A and B are shown apart, each in its own frame.
Chain A
Amino acid sequence: MSDRNRRTSAEPAWPAAIHDVLKSRGVRQVAYVPDAGLRQLIELCHADRSLVTVPLTSEEQGIGLAAGAWLGGQRAVLLMQSSGVGNCVNAFTLGSNCGFPLLLVVTMRGEWGEFNPWQIPMGQAVEPVLHASGVRSFRLEHPEDAAATVDAAAGLAFDGYAMAAVLVSQKMLGAKSFAGAR
């Protein structure tokens, strides 16, 4: 892990660990729709001039982008919040039908300690929807497992020509709260 990726001690180390794995796995295009849980990882990717970062207006755009990247000989990753999984469903046919690799990093809402009821339906549907769409999922519950989990998913995607998602649990991220505003 390079020193320039190290942040203040108050910041968790797992985003830099994931960034390092993306680099070691040869990822060149990083597409994302922002989530608070992805803030550091997105910043690390933007600061890395060897990566092309692609902000999206909706998550399914990243499925097409990743397919096009692979056609052109590059690897992509798609970062999103769990609510974006539902936007992607029809586009997953690119992986199922054509064997395009797909690597997703999904930060979860609607599970551990969720305060916003509107996040719960999609959050609870993430795994069934992914599995019904042919996407394998790996849960990431502990920060120290971040590198190994993303590496395993990347292996499945890029070596196994499969669709694989890392689901970063809300327990690990810390549930969002607006309690102070009440």
Chain B
Amino acid sequence: MSAPLDRRAVVAALLERRETLLVVAGLGSPAWDCAAAGDHPLTFPLWGAMGSASMIGMGLALAQPERRVLVITGDGEMLMGLGSLATIGAQRPRNLALVVLDNERYGETGMQETHTARGVDLAAVAQACGFPVARRVSAPVEIAPMRGAVLEASGPLFFQVKVGAGASAPALPPRDGGYLKQRFREALLGSDALR
């Protein structure tokens, strides 16, 4: 058994040379991880609405079928919106990837165990919901293939990435929701963002 993956290194690898990738970051540590990799107008980080990240990603994926959409969230956030896996599995957006950074903890509230620490298998849930790719990722050698799939494979894709539970240095994105929304739209839509 190798050492658990470092969440910051995983996210940095996913977002390196991201080009046209559209990103939604779930609240808490995944949003900080994305900020640590470099704040970007085409990343929409959440500071609330827990459980919504994957559905925001699906609305975006349906609206932008020519772009790749990546949702990076945590195990607690995914568990709160677990029914979304059924909805996404039924809809099958081909350009949507979900990456769940699974540290088996609620990191923002005192590191209490989540249900994945007690045997709930998120990748198996996604597979049972009809995701054509639903994998657990636990070794460094698996990160590059995951990135390749996020950018090109026919989705919806689900990756449950087992990461360590250690704390990372704070790296906070902007938290003004209106700004986060509008900078994303301007970067994606240009002048149409003001319609």
Enumerate chain A interface residues (CB-CB to B < 8 A): 28-29, 52, 54-58, 60-74, 76, 90-91, 93-94, 97-100
Q: How far is the CB of B125 from chain A (nearest CB, A)?
A: 13
Chain A contacts for B49, CB-based, 8 A = 63-64, 90-91, 93-94
Enumerate chain B interface residues (CB-CB to A < 8 A): 22, 24, 44, 47-64, 81, 83-84, 86-87, 90-91, 177-178, 180-182, 184-185, 188-189, 192-193
Q: How far is the CB of A169 from chain B (nearest CB, A)?
A: 29
A99 touches B62 (CB 8 A): no
Chain B contacts for A57, CB-based, 8 A = 83-84, 86-87
Instruction: With A64-B49, A90-B49 as known contacts, state yes or no: A72 contacts B188, CB within 8 Å.
Output: yes
27 contacts between A and B (CB under 8 A): A29-B63, A54-B62, A56-B83, A56-B87, A57-B86, A61-B83, A65-B59, A68-B24, A68-B55, A68-B60, A68-B61, A68-B63, A69-B60, A69-B62, A69-B63, A70-B185, A71-B22, A71-B44, A71-B184, A72-B64, A74-B63, A76-B59, A91-B49, A93-B49, A94-B56, A97-B48, A98-B180
Instruction: Provide the bound-state CA to CA distance between A58 and B80, in Å.
Output: 12
User: Which interface residue of A63, A70, A73, A94 has the most chain B CB atoms within 10 A?
Assistant: A73
A72 touches B60 (CB 8 A): yes
A-B contact count (CB 8 A): 123
User: Which interface residue of A55, A62, A72 has the most chain B CB atoms within 10 A?
Assistant: A72
Supplied contacts A29-B59, A54-B62, A63-B52, 19 more A-B pairs, CB within 8 Å? A29-B63, A60-B51, A64-B52, A65-B55, A67-B181, A68-B61, A69-B60, A69-B62, A70-B181, A71-B60, A72-B59, A73-B189, A73-B192, A74-B59, A76-B59, A90-B51, A91-B49, A98-B180, A99-B177
